[in-house]
Structure 1
Amino acid sequence: MLHLDQIQSVFEEIDYKLNEPLKGYTYTKVGGPADVLFFPKNKFELAKIVHYANKQDIPWMVLGNASNIIVRDKGIRGFVIMFDKLNAVTVNGYTIEAEAGANLIQTTRVALYHSLTGFEFACGIPGSIGGAVYMNAGAYGGEVSNILVSAQLLTKEGEVITVEGRDMKFGYRHSMVQDTGAIVISAKFALKPGTYEIIKQEMDRLTHLRELKQPLEYPSCGSVFKRPVGHFAGQLIMEAGLKGRRIGGVEVSEKHAGFMINVADGTASDYEALIAHVIETVEQNSGIRLEREVRIIGE
C-alpha cells in the first residue's frame, strides 16, 4: 500500500516528485499524474525503489523517456520510474555500452565520433536505449537485434541479470523483456570500424529522409501502428481517406498518415478515440486490421 508520508524518509537520497503530471515528460504531451515519479541516478537506487515497491505491494513501472507511449488522462498509480539520469555512454574498442536512459540518437552520434559503423539506422529514432532494446527498434533495414551483444536487466523480483543478445527472443518490434516484465538497465552493442565521412553521409541521408516524411514539428508518439505484412500502415490509412482526420486536438498527420500529432492541446482520450476510429475505418476499407505499435498505459 502506498503511504506518501513514508516516501520522504525511505527515499531521502533519491530524486522524486509527488503527484507529478506526466504530460510534461511524454512526447505526445498528454498524460495525467504519477503518484510518485522517481529519477534514480544508478542501478542501486533503481533496485531500492523496486524492492520497496515489491515489499509494500505497490505497483511500479518504468516510463523510459516516453517516446512511443500514450499515458492516459488519469495518470498512473504507484511508482513511475524515469531514466533521465541513467544515461552514461562508454566506448571500448568497437563496443558501445549505454545505460537505459541514454538518448538513442545521441548514442548513434557517439558511434559516429569514434568512426564506428552499424548504428546509422537509428540516427533519427526518438527514444532511449532501454526502449530501443525493449521493442527491438529499427528503421531503414536495420534493427537493434542486429548489433546487440548483451543487455543488463533488472527482473520483476529486483535481481540484476545479464542476457546475451541471442537469448533476447527478438522479433518484429518485440523482445523477451516485454514478456517477462524485466527492465533494461544497460546494453552493449558490437559495431565495426568505419570511415567518419561515409558514416556521417549515411546518417545525414537518413535524417533528411525522416525530416521529409515525418511531422517532427508536432508532439506525437512516433509510428502508431506496426507494419502489416505486405503493406504499409500509412498507405492503408491514406487510402481510407483519413489523412487530416481529427478528434479533439489530435489528428492524423497530413505529412505521414502513420503518425498522429497533437495539434491543439489534445488528450490521451483523443488519441485513443482516433486510433480506434482509424483501425475500424481501415479494416472496413481494406479488410486489414492494423495493430498498435504504441503502448497505451495508465488510467
Structure 2
Amino acid sequence: MTELNINSFLEDITSKLPNLSIKRNEPLKHYTYTETGGPADLYISPSLFDEVELILSKARTHQIPVTYLGNGSNIIIRDGGIRGIVLSLLNLTDIYHENQLVHAMSGAAIIDVSQYAYKQSLSGLEFACGIPGSVGGAIYMNAGAYGGEVKDCLKYIIAATNAGEILTIEAADLQLDYRKSMIQTNDYVVLEAVFELSPGDQSTIKLMMDDLTERRSSKQPLEYPSCGSVFQRPPGHFAGKLIQESDLQGYRIGGVEVSKKHAGFMVNVDHGTASDYEALIKHVQQTVKEKFDIELNCEVRIIGEHK
C-alpha cells in the first residue's frame, strides 16, 4: 500500500459518497477506553450498510487494508497507529424490536441494547447491562458477564465480508465459545445483530440489572481509563486472583498500573502509552507463569504498529 493507493481510493470513494466522514492521520487515542493509540491513515465513519459495502469494495480494488473499530473498550492500539483504513461503526446505532426479537446495529452500545430490552419488558440481556462494548464487539468476542453470554440469546447477525458481500449468519454457525467466534478468524464485520429474548416482568428485570450494576461499580476501577478485563479466565482459576496472589496489584510500568481495586484490570493512571500496556501485560504473564506455572492469555485485542 502506498500514498498513491490512498489518494486514488479517496478520489474514487468521495466521487460516490461526497458526504462521507473521512479523517486523515486521525489519532486513535480519541477512540479507545485506554486513551492510547497512534494515528490511522484514514478514519472513516459510515452511517449506512450500503456505505460500508462500497467502502470495503473500493478498499479491495485499491489494495488498502481495513481494520474495524467499535467503541474501543476492549482493545489496545499500538502507538504507531494503523495503516490503511480504520472503519468506525459508531454511527450504526439503531435499535428496534419486532415482538421478542431485538435488532441492534453494530455500533450501538450493548448496554443500550440491554436497557432497551428492559423498557420493552424483554428478558435475556440483563447480563449485558454493564458491558461497555459495542454490539459488534460483543459478537466478535462472545462477550459475557455474571453467568450470561451473547450466545445465550443471539438469533442471527448480518455481516459483511472484506470484499463487501453482505451475509446473514445464524448464531449456531458463528462458533461462539468463550471469548471466541468465527468473526475473528474470517475477518468479517458485524453490521447488525438480532437477539431473541423472552417476555419478563419489568420490575424483576430492573432489580437484576441494578444488582449487577452495583456489583460492577463496587468491584471494577471504572474511575480510570482501562481496556476492561485484560486476561481470559484460565481453566480452573481466576486471572485476577492469580495476579493478586503474585503481589502485582499497584505494579506500574510508565503510566499504566495493575489496578489496586481489581487485579484483572490495568488502568491508565498517568498518560500511559500502548507500549506501557504491552510491557505490563508481559511482566504480569511472566510473573504468574513463574509463580504458578499457569499461562495467562489475553482477552484484550492488541493491534497496530509499534512506534
Instruction: Pick the TM interval, shorter chain.
Output: over 0.9
Structure 1 residue runs of 4+, over 6 Å off? none
Aligned counterpart, 1:228:
234
> Does 1:276 pair with 2:282?
yes
Are positions 1:262 and 2:268 aligned together?
Answer: yes
Output the amino acid matched with 1:267: T
Distance, in Å, in 1 between the alignment partners of 2:78 and 2:270 is: 17
Aligned partner of residue 74 in structure 1, secondary structure:
coil
Q: Deviations over 1:136-188 (max 9, x none)?
A: 00011100001010010101221000000111111100011011011111000
Partner amino acid for 2:257? E
Which residue, 105, 115, 129 being the options, matches 2:121? 115
Aligned mates of 1:20, 1:251 — CA distance in 2:
27
Confirm whether residue 95 of structure 1 aligns to residue 101 of structure 2: yes
Find the aligned partners of 1:156 and 1:83 in 2 and give their Cα distance: 15
Question: Could you tell me which amino acid in structure 2 is paired with residue 115 of structure 1?
Answer: S
**Structure 2 contact 13–55 (Cα < 8 Å) conserved:** no
**Which whole-Å CA distance do the structure 2 matches of 1:138 and 1:232 have between them?**
15
If the length of structure 1 is used for normalisation, what is the TM-score?
A: 0.98
Shift of 1:192: 0.4
Give, in whole Å, the separation in 1 of the partners of 2:253 and 2:195: 41
1:70 is the counterpart of 2:73: no
Matched, 1:32 2:38: yes
Q: What is residue 297 of structure 1 aligned with on the other side?
A: 303
Provide the secondary structure at the position in 2 that maps to 1:257: coil
1:204 match: 210
Q: 1: CA distance between counterparts of 2:177 and 2:118?
A: 27
Please give the alpha-carbon distance, in whole angstroms, between the structure 2 residues aligned to 1:8 and 1:160.
24
Offset, 1:8: 5.2
Q: 1:121-160 residue pairs with structure 2 within 5 A?
A: 121-160=127-166
For residue 213 of structure 1, what is the aligned residue in structure 2? 219
- Of the candidates 104, 112, 116, which is equivalent to residue 110 of structure 2? 104
- The answer to whether the 8 Å contact 2:12/2:58 transfers is no
Question: Residue 195 of structure 2 aligns to which amino acid in structure 1?
Answer: F
SS, match of residue 123 in structure 1: helix
The aligned amino acid for 1:45 is E
Task: Name the % identity.
Answer: 53
Q: Could you tell me which runs of 5 or more consecutive residues in structure 1 were left unpaired when the two chains were aligned.
A: none
Structure 2: distance between partners of 1:10 and 1:162: 26
| Letter in structure 2 aligned against 1:124 | G
2: CA distance between counterparts of 1:82 and 1:134?
15
Alignment equivalent of 1:56, drawn from 32, 52, 62: 62
How far apart, CA to CA, are the structure 2 residues paired with 1:153 and 1:9?
A: 24
1:176 to 169, 176, 182: 182
Return the alpha-carbon distance in structure 2 between the equivalents of residues 23 and 235 of structure 1.
Answer: 30
Distance 2:241 2:258 in 1: 12
Q: Distance in 1 between matches of 2:71 and 2:196?
A: 24
Q: Distance in 2 between matches of 1:43 and 1:73?
A: 30
Q: Which runs of 5+ in 2 are unaligned?
A: none
Q: Which is further off, 253-262 or 42-51?
A: 42-51
TM-score (norm 2): 0.96
Equivalence for 1:15: 21
Q: 1 CA distance for matches of 2:91 and 2:66?
A: 18
- Aligned-partner residue type, residue 53 of structure 1: A
Q: How many residues align?
A: 299
Query: Secondary structure, in 3 states, of the residue corresponding to 1:244?
Result: coil
User: 1: CA distance between counterparts of 2:231 and 2:128?
Assistant: 18
C-alpha separation in 2, matches of 1:117 and 1:224? 29
1:13 Cα offset (Å): 2.4
Superposition deviation, residue 48 in structure 1: 1.2
1:51-89 per-residue CA deviation (whole Å, 9 max, x = no partner) reads 111111111110111110000001000000111111100
What's the C-alpha RMSD, in Å, of the aligned pairs? 0.9
Cα contact 2:100–2:196 (8 A) shared by 1 = yes
Aligned letter for 2:114?
Answer: T
Q: Look up the SS of the partner of 1:269 in the other structure.
A: helix
Over residues 108-136 of structure 1, what are the superposed CA-to-partner deviations in whole Å (9 max), with x where a residue is unaligned? 00001101000000000001000000100
Q: Which amino acid aligns with 2:258?
A: V
Between the aligned partners of 1:129 and 1:159, the Cα distance in structure 2 is 20
